[in-house]
Amino acid sequence: MHYRTVLREGSAAVVAELAVEVEKQLPALIDSTVGQIRAEMPVYRDAQFVSLAELRTSVRNNLEFVMRTLRGTEEPDLTQARATGRARALQGAPLPELLRAYRIGLTEVWNRFVDLTASSEHQDLRGLVAATSAIWALIDDYAEALTTTYRDTTAEVMLAHQSRRSALVEALFAGGAATEGTLWDIARVLELSLDGTYVVVAAETPRVGHEPLPQIENRLRERHHASAWRLTPDLQVGVVSMRDPVASQVIIELLRENQTGRIGVSPVFTGLGNTSRALHLARVALSSLMPGSTGMVQFNESPLAGLVASAPEASVQLAHHVLRPILDLPGDDRNVLLLTLRAWFECQGSTKLTSERMFCHPNTIRHRLKRISEELGRSLTDPADIAELGAALRALHLFPDTSHLPSPRDPLR
């Protein structure tokens, strides 16, 4: 202990003698220390973390420990310092304020030693010097014990908070908020609005345990966007609060600055209870990008897109059944016909607009459309066939691995 190393032979006895005299003034010493702490420190004066009664009890316990130690009646016991450090950490009191309060208390003790030394009965400067060294060494020992325990407790509290936060984030994404009360508790702990406006982000991890969007929560917070994130073996997923309708673009730009792989973004939605569905749509958007590529896609929330995304297995089966004859063609033929069909839908069935978009002669487009109709055995003028083709194209876009699936056992027609 630092305290023991500063006391030489003979000086311990002098310090003990002064300590006995100071201890007789303990009630007044407690009052003056409490008063000084409250006068100098608003955090204690306003009882932000510790009530007046708790402060007085803590001051008394710590001063009694100091006096016993200075009297030399026992080895320095830092149990009280550790207890104070743990209690204040649990209360959320700032560490610098704790150390300052303790220094105020020991300064009050030192002032009493000075007063005694200045009196006619105890004019021994050697005793004052020894006491001064002992008191400041005791401050070092106490501060070290308090600080270590405070930090250990703070880490323990943060770990417990993070564990609870992670569990609530997982429940939110899994749709585990079974009751309104549970959802309200999730919103409170995550500091998110229950009826706020959000997007969900799903980013592919480069490898297990590595975030594709490091520090994204802090970066969003700097831009005044609250968020909550969870890392899984294959994805980093987050729900991000939007302050206004145009914030979506700001968020997307931030994500684009940090992207290293595939990122899917949900449509904008309202209400924290819809997070699990939004995560599904964000994952669907991500899966529309080729594996191994780098890019970002936001799910286009149309009635048809929502319907297709809500039933992945049925949608994949639909795409397989409707488009299989083209999917089985050699690569170049397959790609040209699929691109032409998709462009034709996007151009509202206009051959002229489709040819302009694909930089082809209209007759070339007509020839391709005729071939598509023949390959698929479907008419591009029959509303029922057009509806199935549109849904199949949407499913193929959302679930691009469709072409690698085996033939369905239960054909749709």
In the predicted structure, residue 122 carries a pLDDT above the cut 80? no
Q: Which domains does the chain have, with CATH numbers?
A: 2-157 (1.10.490.10), 182-301 (3.30.70.270), 310-404 (1.10.10.2840)
pTM of structure: 0.54
Output the six-digit token pair for 343. Answer: 């462009």
State pLDDT tens for residues 372-401: 988 888 888 888 888 888 888 878 876 765
Residue-level pLDDT at 307: 61
Residue-wise pLDDT for 164-208, tens only, equals 888 888 888 887 555 555 788 788 888 888 888 999 999 999 888
pLDDT band at 73 (very low <50, low <70, confident <90, very high): low
303 sits in which H/E element: helix 303-310
CB atoms within 10 A of CB 194: 13
- For 181, the token pair is 């009360």
Asked whether 363 and 280 are in contact (CB, 8 A), the reply is: no
Asked if 37 contacts 55 with a C-beta cutoff of 8 angstroms, the reply is: yes
Candidate from 5-9, 21-25, 287-291, 395-399 with smallest mean pLDDT: 5-9
Chain CA centroid to CA 98, Å: 28
Query: What pLDDT does 202 receive?
Result: 93
What distance in Å separates the CA atoms of residue 359 and residue 5, rounded to the nearest whole number?
Answer: 90
Per-residue pLDDT at 247 exceeds 70:
yes
Is 62 or 405 the better-scoring residue by pLDDT?
A: 62
Task: Give the amino acid at 33.
Answer: T
Q: First-to-last CA distance in the chain?
A: 86
**Which of 269, 256, 341 has the alpha carbon at shortest distance from 301?**
269
**Euclidean distance between CA atoms 378 and 387, whole angstroms:** 11
What percentage of the chain exceeds 70 in pLDDT?
Answer: 85
Highest mean pLDDT among 131-135, 230-234, 294-298: 230-234
Mean pLDDT over each residue of the chain, to the nearest integer: 81
Compare 78 and 36 and report the one with higher pLDDT. Answer: 36
Token pair belonging to 178: 């079974």
User: Which range (152-156, 157-161, 294-298, 366-370) has the least confidence?
Assistant: 157-161
Mean pLDDT of 132-138: 78
- What pLDDT was estimated at residue 201? 93
Q: Please write the tens of the pLDDT for every residue from 290-346.
A: 777 888 888 875 556 656 666 667 777 878 888 888 888 888 888 899 899 888 988
How far, in Å, CA of 314 to CA of 342, rounded?
20
The 8-class DSSP code of residue 288 comes to T
pLDDT (mean) for 125-136: 74
- pLDDT at 129 exceeding the cut of 80: no
In this structure, what token pair is assigned to residue 306?
């929502």
Burial of 235-251, coded b for 16+ CB within 10 Å and e otherwise, reads: bbbbbbbbeeeebbebb
Pairing mode, strands 235-242 and 269-270: unpaired
